């Protein structure tokens, strides 16, 4: 039986619980492909999983932002797919429930997410159903391809899928300096929107402007609505992408124009927040949750990447064996954009 290297953790804890282990290399079932992983992004989600702050057990292999090359296929998958470069759609869905039948595989109730159960991306190989391995166009490098579904597809879902952004819309993005926020700015600019970015970290203004934000509000206390009101000449914003929520959602609602869409994607403090129903009614504000990309969003994300309309924000590339260092940097908020694992 063949062995492979992977990064795992035997107990919840700080970044140093992550270590390289040897595990059995997975074997593709009839409808699966075996992917040799070339790059894996470190998502904030992975950091929370490792710390035991979201459901799941220790001992698994984290990581859901994955790109690689098909190394072998199951008996029901055409052998021509061997050698294909792919990005992995990380929700393993049933394809027969009412959500899957509507093309909303992201909502499948009979599903699990790669990295939350079973093998994830911090490994040499992964097996996934062939339909989850999405071919990537030429000209997209592997580190960028790893970020196709999350965070770029996630940004496409929120802005285009949920908020239906239009050219000229004003989009407010909280937590704008994070890995998700920077990609949201890039997607919003590719759709010709005006972006007002909020960050609590003054040292992130440079990268936020580089991502294309038109205005940056540095607001350590998250009291930003007065400044939004001033910047929009008392009009408010059409769309909010709320990556923080705790301590900021009430300010986001105050920043909203009439009929605005407030999309909630992040839940940093995981605490209940106050909502003023009078304000929501008076301004006809729509509040919506958003999460992982649909296949259609992934297609859009690949289009943006291939045409360079959206450039991935990669702070640094580390070898897989240094995943712990990547987690530590993320926790210290010492990165601007994603840390991507490549090579061992
Ligand atoms: Zn992710
Ligand atoms: Zn389903």
Q: Tell me what pLDDT residue 271 has.
A: 84
Q: For residue 25, what are the CA distances in angstroms to 1, 127, 155? A: 8, 9, 33
CB proximity list for 318: less than 8 A, separation 6 or greater: 325, 326, 339, 340, 341, 342
Q: Tell me what pLDDT residue 282 has.
A: 98
Q: Tell me what pLDDT residue 267 has.
A: 81
Note the ligand closest to the C-alpha atom of 46. 1
Ligand 2 mean position, distance from CA 87 (Å): 20
Note the ligand closest to the C-alpha atom of 100. 2
The SS3 of residue 99 is helix
Ligand 1 mean position, distance from CA 26 (Å): 22
Q: Which helix (H) or strand (E) holds 242?
A: strand 237-242
Ligand 2 mean position, distance from CA 153 (Å): 19
Give the tens place of pLDDT for each residue, 132-157: 999 999 999 999 999 999 999 999 99
Note the ligand closest to the C-alpha atom of 265. 1
Ligand 2 mean position, distance from CA 101 (Å): 7
Q: Tell me what pLDDT residue 57 has.
A: 87
For residue 128, the cross-strand partners are 33
Q: Tell me what pLDDT residue 111 has.
A: 92
- Dihedral sign from CA coordinates of 181, 187, 189, 192: negative
Note the ligand closest to the C-alpha atom of 292. 1
The SS3 of residue 38 is strand
212-230 in b/e form (b: 16+ CB < 10 A) is bbbbbbbbeebebbebbee
Q: What is the DSSP string of 177-225?
A: TSHHHHHHHHHHHHTT-EEEEEES-GGGHHHHHHTT-SEEEE-TT---H
pTM of the model: 0.95
Would you say 285 and 260 are in contact if contact means Cβ atoms under 8 Å apart? yes
Ligand 1 mean position, distance from CA 61 (Å): 14
CB hemisphere CA count around 237 (13 angstroms): 34
CB hemisphere CA count around 121 (13 angstroms): 32
CA-based nearest residue to 124, from 183, 59, 197, 39: 39
Strand 215-218 to 194-199 pairing: parallel
Q: Tell me what pLDDT residue 229 has.
A: 98
Note the ligand closest to the C-alpha atom of 112. 2
Ligand 1 mean position, distance from CA 150 (Å): 5
Ligand 1 mean position, distance from CA 90 (Å): 9
Q: Tell me what pLDDT residue 334 has.
A: 85
Note the ligand closest to the C-alpha atom of 92. 2
Ligand 1 mean position, distance from CA 276 (Å): 31
Q: Tell me what pLDDT residue 269 has.
A: 77
Ligand 2 mean position, distance from CA 119 (Å): 20
Note the ligand closest to the C-alpha atom of 97. 2
Ligand 2 mean position, distance from CA 106 (Å): 8
Note the ligand closest to the C-alpha atom of 153. 1
Helices (H) and strands (E) in the chain, counts: 11, 17
Ligand 1 mean position, distance from CA 226 (Å): 32
What is the token pair recorded at 187? 């997607």
The SS3 of residue 155 is helix
CA-based nearest residue to 155, from 243, 93, 270: 243
**pLDDT < 50 positions in the chain:** none
Strand 170-173 to 194-199 pairing: parallel
Q: Tell me what pLDDT residue 56 has.
A: 83
Give the tens place of pLDDT for each residue, 40-62: 999 989 999 999 988 888 989 99
Note the ligand closest to the C-alpha atom of 183. 1
- Dihedral sign from CA coordinates of 202, 203, 206, 209: negative
Q: Tell me what pLDDT residue 27 has.
A: 96
Q: Tell me what pLDDT residue 117 has.
A: 75
Distance linking the first and last C-alpha atoms of the chain: 21
Note the ligand closest to the C-alpha atom of 41. 1
Ligand 2 mean position, distance from CA 132 (Å): 13
The SS3 of residue 341 is strand
């Amino acid at each position: 039986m063949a062995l492979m290297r992977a990064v795992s953790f035997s107990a919840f804890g700080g970044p140093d619980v992550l270590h390289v282990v040897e595990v059995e290399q997975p074997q593709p079932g009839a409808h699966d492909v075996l992917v040799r992983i070339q790059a894996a992004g470190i998502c904030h989600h992975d950091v929370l999983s490792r710390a035991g702050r979201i459901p799941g057990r220790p001992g698994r292999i984290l990581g859901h932002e994955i790109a690689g090359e098909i190394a072998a296929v199951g008996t029901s998958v055409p052998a021509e797919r061997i050698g294909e470069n792919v990005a992995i759609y990380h929700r393993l869905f049933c394809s027969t429930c009412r959500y899957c039948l509507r093309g909303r595989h992201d909502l499948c109730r009979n599903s699990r997410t790669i990295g939350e159960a079973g093998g994830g991306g911090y490994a040499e190989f992964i097996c996934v159903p062939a339909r989850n391995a999405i071919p990537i166009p030429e000209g997209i490098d592997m580190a960028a391809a790893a970020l196709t579904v999350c965070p770029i597809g996630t940004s496409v879902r929120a802005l285009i899928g949920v908020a239906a952004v239009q050219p000229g819309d004003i989009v407010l993005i909280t937590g704008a300096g994070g890995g998700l926020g920077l990609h949201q700015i890039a997607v919003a600019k590719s759709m010709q929107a005006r972006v007002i970015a909020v960050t609590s970290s003054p040292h992130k203004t440079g990268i936020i402007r580089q991502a294309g934000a038109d205005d940056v509000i540095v607001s350590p206390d998250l009291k930003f609505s007065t400044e939004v009101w001033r910047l929009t000449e008392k009009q408010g914003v059409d769309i909010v992408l709320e990556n923080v929520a705790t301590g900021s959602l009430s300010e986001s609602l105050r920043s909203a124009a009439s009929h605005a869409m407030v999309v909630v994607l992040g839940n940093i403090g995981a605490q209940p927040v106050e909502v003023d129903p009078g304000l929501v009614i008076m301004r006809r504000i729509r509040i919506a949750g958003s999460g992982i990309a649909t296949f259609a969003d992934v297609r859009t994300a690949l289009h943006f990447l291939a045409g360079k309309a959206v450039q991935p924000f990669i702070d640094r590339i580390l070898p897989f064996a240094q995943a712990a260092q990547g987690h530590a940097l993320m926790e210290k908020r010492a990165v601007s954009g994603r840390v991507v694992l490549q090579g061992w």
